[in-house]
Amino acid sequence: MNKQLDDLLDLLDLERIEQDLFRGRSRSALVPRVFGGQVAAQALVAAGRTVPESRHAHSLHAYFLRTGDPGAPIVYEVDRIRDGRSFTTRRVVAVQHGRPIFHLSASFQTAEDGLEHQAPMPPTTDPELLPTAAEMLPRYADRFSDPGIVGRMIEARAAFDLRYVDEPPYASVGVPREPHSQVWFKTNGKLADDARPDSVQGDPHLHVCLATYVSDMTLLDSVLLAHGRGGWTVGDVVGASLDHAMWFHRPFRADEWLLYDQESPSAFGGRGLGQARIYTQDGRLAVSVIQEGLVRVPR
- Provide the annotated active-site residues: 216, 241, 291
The SS3 call for residue 251 is coil
In 3D space, the residue among 58, 68, 135, 133 whose CA is nearest the CA of residue 97 turns out to be 68
Greatest alpha-carbon span in the chain: 57
Which residue type is seen at 98? G
Query: Would the CA dihedral through 216, 218, 219, 223 be positive or negative?
Result: positive
Cβ atoms of 254 and 280 closer than 8 Å: no
Q: Please state, as a whole number, how many other Cβ atoms lie within 10 Å of the Cβ of residue 170.
A: 21
Distance from C-alpha of 150 to C-alpha of 77, rounded to nearest angstrom = 36
Please list, residue by residue across 25-48, b when 16 or more beta carbons sit within 10 angstroms of its beta carbon and e when fewer do: bbbebeeeebbbbbbbbbbbbbbb
Distance from C-alpha of 73 to C-alpha of 47, rounded to nearest angstrom = 18
Give 280-283's long-range contacts (Cβ < 8 A, gap of 24+).
Answer: 280/250, 280/252, 280/256, 281/127, 281/256, 281/257, 283/120, 283/121
Distances from the Cα of 137 to the Cαs of 76, 147, 214, in angstroms? 35, 12, 18
Give, in degrees to the nearest 5, the angle at Cα 190 between 23 and 211.
50
Burial environment of residue 276 by CB neighbours within 10 A (0 to 12, 13 to 18, 19 or more): buried
